[in-house]
């Protein structure tokens, strides 16, 4: 992981950054794990960050975003708190959240003007300005993924972000807001995904992953917790279907309950598109080891929940930015997109199905709602009817 060279330290502050990084290198970090069971060879915080980033080397966009957030936190810890990254506490994380909303002192942290100097230029700064709420949330999601991985790797004893995230979720949950996308907003998100570059193999795989992620969250009305544990082998064909071949996704859902989600022909074709981008040929097989949503580092590893949330937030932020650039009069709509999360796609699916007049029992069974589970034996819609209803009424709408 590249770190700002000491030649630019006079621009960022009065202290020599190289000396500070050497002084607070993490060897004596108070949050270092003492179990003696580390699974990485890192001895310093920078080495640990490099090990974490190495998992994303084949995804340049993700690698750059992750490096940016890790570097910002590392520099802030050293320059502002005089601490190792591996010594940060909950109180430090709370202070960092406030810092992201207003990086001060500005001359040290914020680039001047509209120019974006190269990272090793003396005028380079980690920030272009204060981060929006959605960008702050995205930064914290990435850092939570970092800390969780370092704990799992045996480098850190605990994740200082864990309690911070719980408090933030509780606070946001109490605020009433629209939690679904209109059909036009869904179209804007699709347009943004379609605009992503796919010039290189890694960009092609990234675009395919994002498109499949949004397709299955919306088309299958899944919870993200359900998606990240699903396997390709959970996609099964119903051979005795009365008409054309039916594909279903077996989901282990909330409350330790299983349900079957219809895969429309359109959604099944999106799965085939995703598989082809990752060199998987033909339909899923019963003993396939691959996850339904694969990690960027290894196709046999599940994409983590934190990373899935990060990808969703990146797309919503990118959709909002693109909407602003194309239609400046749609600022209010862009702000809605910035607030959206993965669960909004599930709500959007249910809302759009209801708007189409689909039987509420079909929607209930597809989403796996628990509120009327005791009446399922009486109100359960037939499988064939439910599959036909989604095939006819629930469209992804990709061009």
The backbone torsions φ and ψ at residue 366, rounded to the nearest 5 degrees and listed phi first, read: -70, -40
Helix or strand (DSSP H, E) at 51: helix 45-53
Q: Give me the pLDDT at residue 115, please.
A: 65
Q: By C-alpha distance, which of 63, 220, 216, 75 is closest to 146?
A: 63
Strand order in the sheet with 257-263: 235-238, 246-253, 257-263
What is the C-alpha separation between 293 and 310, in angstroms, rounded?
A: 14
Domain boundaries, the chain: 6-173, 183-393
For residue 287, the 8-state DSSP code is T
Q: Name residue 251's beta-bridge partners.
A: 259
Is it the case that residue 53 has pLDDT exceeding 80?
yes
Q: By C-alpha distance, which of 56, 312, 329 is closest to 192?
A: 312
What is the C-alpha separation between 331 and 154, in angstroms, rounded?
A: 45
What is the C-alpha separation between 208 and 190, in angstroms, rounded?
A: 12
Between CA 118 and CA 129, with CA 123 as vertex, the angle to 5 degrees is: 90
Q: Give me the pLDDT at residue 370, please.
A: 64
Paired tokens of 86: 């591996």
What is the C-alpha separation between 330 and 92, in angstroms, rounded?
A: 37
Whether residue 320 contacts residue 334, with contact meaning beta carbons closer than 8 Å, is answered with yes
Q: By C-alpha distance, which of 307, 275, 277 is closest to 292?
A: 275
What is the C-alpha separation between 94 and 318, in angstroms, rounded?
A: 26
Contacts of 201 (CB under 8 A, 6+ apart): none
Q: The pTM is what? A: 0.58
CA 177 to chain centre: 21
Segment 92-107, tens digit of pLDDT: 999 999 999 999 998 8
Higher pLDDT, 152 or 241: 152
What is the C-alpha separation between 74 and 236, in angstroms, rounded?
A: 46
pLDDT band at 168 (very low <50, low <70, confident <90, very high): very low
Segment 139-163 shows an average pLDDT of 90
> Looking at domain 183-393, which CATH architecture does it have?
Orthogonal Bundle (1.10)
Segment 2-35, tens digit of pLDDT: 544 333 433 444 447 788 888 999 999 999 988 7
Point out the least confidently predicted range of 7-16, 217-226, 310-319.
Answer: 7-16
Number of Cβ within 10 Å of residue 199's Cβ equals 7
Contacts of 214 (CB under 8 A, 6+ apart): 189, 190, 193, 312, 315, 345
């Amino acid at each position: 992981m590249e770190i700002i060279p000491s030649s630019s330290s006079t621009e960022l502050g009065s202290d020599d950054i190289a000396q500070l990084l050497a002084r607070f290198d993490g060897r004596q970090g108070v949050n270092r794990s003492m179990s003696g069971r580390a699974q990485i060879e890192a001895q310093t915080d920078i080495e640990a960050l490099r090990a974490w980033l190495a998992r994303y080397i084949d995804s340049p966009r993700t690698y750059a975003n992750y490096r940016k957030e890790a570097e910002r936190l590392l520099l802030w810890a050293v320059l502002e708190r005089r601490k190792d990254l591996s010594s940060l506490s909950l109180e430090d994380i709370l202070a960092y959240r406030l810092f992201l909303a207003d990086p001060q002192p500005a001359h040290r942290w914020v680039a001047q003007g509209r120019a974006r100097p190269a990272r090793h230029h003396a005028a380079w700064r980690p920030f272009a300005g204060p981060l929006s709420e959605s960008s702050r949330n995205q930064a914290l999601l990435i850092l939570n993924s970092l800390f969780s991985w370092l704990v799992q790797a045996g480098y850190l004893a605990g994740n200082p972000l864990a309690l911070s995230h719980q408090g933030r979720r509780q606070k946001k949950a109490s605020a009433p807001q629209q939690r679904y996308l209109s059909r036009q907003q869904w179209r804007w998100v699709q347009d943004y995904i379609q605009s992503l570059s796919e010039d290189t193999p890694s960009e092609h795989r990234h675009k395919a992953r994002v498109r499949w992620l949004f397709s299955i969250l919306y088309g299958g009305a899944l919870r993200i917790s359900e998606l990240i544990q699903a396997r390709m082998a959970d996609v099964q064909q119903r051979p005795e279907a009365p008409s054309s071949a039916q594909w279903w996704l077996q989901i282990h859902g909330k409350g330790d309950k299983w349900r079957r989600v219809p895969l429309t022909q359109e959604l099944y074709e999106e799965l085939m598109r995703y598989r082809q981008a990752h060199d998987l040929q033909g339909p899923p097989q019963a003993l396939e080891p691959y996850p339904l949503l694969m990690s960027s580092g290894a196709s046999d590893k599940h994409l983590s929940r934190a990373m899935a949330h990060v990808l969703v937030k990146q797309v919503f932020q990118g959709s909002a930015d693109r909407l602003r650039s194309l239609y400046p009069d749609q600022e209010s709509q862009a702000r809605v997109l910035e607030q959206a999360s993965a669960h909004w796609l599930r709500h959007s699916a249910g809302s759009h199905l209801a708007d189409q007049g689909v039987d509420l029992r079909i929607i209930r069974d597809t989403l796996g709602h628990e509120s009327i589970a005791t009446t399922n034996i009486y109100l359960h819609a037939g499988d064939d009817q439910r599959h036909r209803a989604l095939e006819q009424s629930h469209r992804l709408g990709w061009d």
